[in-house]
Amino acid sequence: MAEDEGGTVKLDKVLLIADGDNVAFGKPYVDGARVMATVKKNGKGDKIIVFKYKAKVRYRRKKGHRQLLTSLGIDKILPAGVEDTKPVKRTRRKKTEEKADGA
């Protein structure tokens, strides 16, 4: 994924939504449904070694690979027709502004 840690991601390919007795199956996806998620961590998985070997002909090839991984935290699951209410970002005032206001 191209998002930085702490960024938000919208996933619109939802296969199934279940809320109690209400179940919506996609064919292949549920129309209008989406999932809002926050990127928690970007990184790489464990190294996988690919080793090719042929007996009696001195053929050996060793290659390594690490898959890129992204860990997501699910914030909201929105069914079709529900508007996305974006959370309001809270900004902190700088300490210099706080001291100036208090004086």
Per-residue pLDDT reduced to its tens digit, 10-65? 998 999 998 889 888 889 999 989 999 999 999 999 999 999 999 999 999 999 99
| pLDDT at residue 1 tops 60 | no
- Does residue 89 contact residue 20 with C-beta atoms inside 8 Å? no
- What are the residue ranges spanned by the domains of the chain? 8-82
What is the distance of C-alpha 59 from the center of its chain? 41
For the chain, the distance separating the N- and C-terminal CA atoms, rounded to the nearest angstrom, is 47
| pLDDT at residue 4 tops 90 | no
| pTM for the model | 0.61
Confidence class for position 90, pLDDT limits 50, 70, 90: low
Q: Name the phi and psi angles at 40, rounded to 5.
A: -90, -40
Distances (CA, A) of 29 to 11, 14, 73, 79: 11, 5, 21, 12
